[in-house]
């Protein structure tokens, strides 16, 4: 031991401390910058370009990198960065709040109905869906990615209980089916890459517009198609604001996407929002409900009250099914 330094504490290396703080500040800045791009697009009411639309689906989870950024900023004593991070936290908290109206309809109740929507992933989840339908006994069933074998199986297993149907036949993800206990009248449906059939149901003597939603997902290079097909669904919603309407399915969009909020701006309300389940993830089923996004929705016009929205795990599909109980009210 060096006797000259014995009994004395060596001073910390100031250059090491400065280097560590600089690294922490850089880590915080990178995290804050990434989150700021996504939050900025949300604040500007736009979905931006890839990868922003994909990240917007998981907007609440941006609290995690923001929290790590604040930790790095604190360790680096980067006070400007701390202010930046706190502002991001406040904006995220604001945007996580439910979007859309949640008021109760006026007029007397005239009918009760249960709606189930399920994406069965190329038909793989058909068996689990059939079991869920027998158990839940919905009045209306919206099935996405129901290819030809799925369609045939639904006819055999559910045809007796659901004698009325509208379908777009196709393989892979193109097929879709609407099953109903109520009589159905043909409607044009919404054009799209994947099938989106429509109908008008006679619910206890009241006409109800039905439309299945399954626009293309926001894949890189196909954002224009995604926006266009969600825009077609918005046009359907806006075309008639007097007839009770149910628009249900896999929207490939959450309330944090501007194109989805445009649909809600027509006056439709999200049934999960009305039931207090607006942030419950429906996809991907493997990580939900711990981690995921709510992209499966039942949207209803002001004529409906909603309660008891539940997301069901089904085997062999990457989506959770959504079941919601609705009450139809007659406007006075």
Q: What is the CATH T-level fold of the domain 109-329, as seen in this structure? A: Deoxyribonuclease I; Chain A (3.60.10)
Mean local confidence (pLDDT), 145-149 = 97
pLDDT single digits (tens) 91-119: 999 999 999 888 889 899 999 999 999 99
Quick one: pLDDT at residue 26?
95
pLDDT > 80? residue 11: no
Beta bridge mates, 305 = 327
With cut-offs at 50, 70 and 90, classify the pLDDT of residue 14: confident
β-strand 206-213 against 269-270: which pairing, if any? unpaired
Q: Is the pLDDT of residue 1 over 50?
A: no
Q: What is the pLDDT of residues 305-326, one digit of tens each?
A: 999 999 999 999 999 999 999 9
Q: Using CA atoms, how far apart are residues 214 and 191, in angstroms rounded to an integer? A: 10
Q: What was the pLDDT predicted at 8? A: 53
C-alpha to C-alpha distance for 43 and 139, rounded to whole angstroms: 39
Cite the residue boundaries of each domain of the chain with CATH code 3.60.10.10: 109-329
pLDDT band at 4, cuts 50/70/90? Answer: very low
How sure is the predictor about 12, in pLDDT bands with cuts at 50, 70 and 90?
A: low
Confidence at residue 10, expressed as pLDDT on a 0 to 100 scale: 46
Q: Residue 61: CB partners within 8 Å, gap ≥ 6?
A: 291
Listed in order, strand segments (DSSP E) in the chain are: 109-119, 140-144, 164-168, 176-180, 184-187, 198-203, 206-213, 245-250, 269-270, 296-300, 304-312, 321-329
Q: What is the mean pLDDT of residues 158-180?
A: 96
Is the per-residue pLDDT at 5 higher than 70? no
Contact between residue 224 and residue 259 where contact means Cβ atoms under 8 Å apart:
no
Average pLDDT over the chain, rounded to an integer: 94
């Amino acid at each position: 031991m060096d006797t000259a330094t014995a009994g004395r504490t060596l001073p910390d290396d100031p250059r090491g401390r400065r280097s560590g703080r600089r690294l922490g500040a850089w880590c915080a800045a990178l995290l804050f910058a990434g989150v700021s791009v996504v939050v900025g697009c949300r604040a500007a009411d736009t979905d931006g370009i890839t990868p922003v639309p994909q990240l917007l689906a998981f907007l609440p989870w941006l609290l995690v990198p923001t929290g790590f950024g604040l930790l790095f900023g604190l360790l680096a004593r980067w006070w400007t960065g701390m202010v930046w991070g706190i502002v991001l936290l406040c904006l995220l908290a604001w945007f996580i709040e439910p979007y859309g109206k949640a008021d109760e309809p006026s007029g007397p109740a005239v009918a009760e109905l249960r709606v189930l929507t399920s994406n069965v992933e190329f038909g793989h989840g058909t068996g689990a869906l059939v079991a869920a339908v027998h158990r839940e006994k919905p009045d209306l069933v919206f099935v996405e990615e129901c290819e030809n074998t799925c369609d045939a199986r639904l006819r055999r297993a559910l045809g007796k209980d659901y004698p009325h149907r509208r379908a777009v036949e196709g393989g892979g993800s193109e097929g879709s089916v609407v099953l109903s206990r109520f009589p159905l009248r043909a409607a044009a449906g919404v054009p799209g890459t994947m099938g989106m059939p429509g109908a008008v149901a006679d619910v206890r003597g009241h006409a109800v517009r039905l439309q299945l939603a399954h626009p293309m997902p926001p894949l890189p290079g196909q954002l224009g198609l995604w926006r266009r097909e969600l825009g077609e669904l918005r046009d359907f919603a806006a075309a008639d604001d007097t007839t009770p309407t149910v628009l249900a399915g896999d929207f490939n969009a959450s309330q944090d996407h501007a194109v989805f909020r445009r649909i809600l701006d027509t006056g439709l309300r999200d049934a999960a929002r009305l039931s207090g389940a607006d942030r419950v993830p429906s996809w991907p089923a493997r990580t939900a409900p711990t981690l995921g996004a709510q992209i499966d929705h039942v949207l209803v016009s002001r004529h409906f009250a909603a309660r008891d929205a539940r997301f069901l795990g089904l085997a062999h599909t990457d989506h959770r099914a959504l079941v919601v109980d609705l009450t139809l009210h007659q406007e006075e």
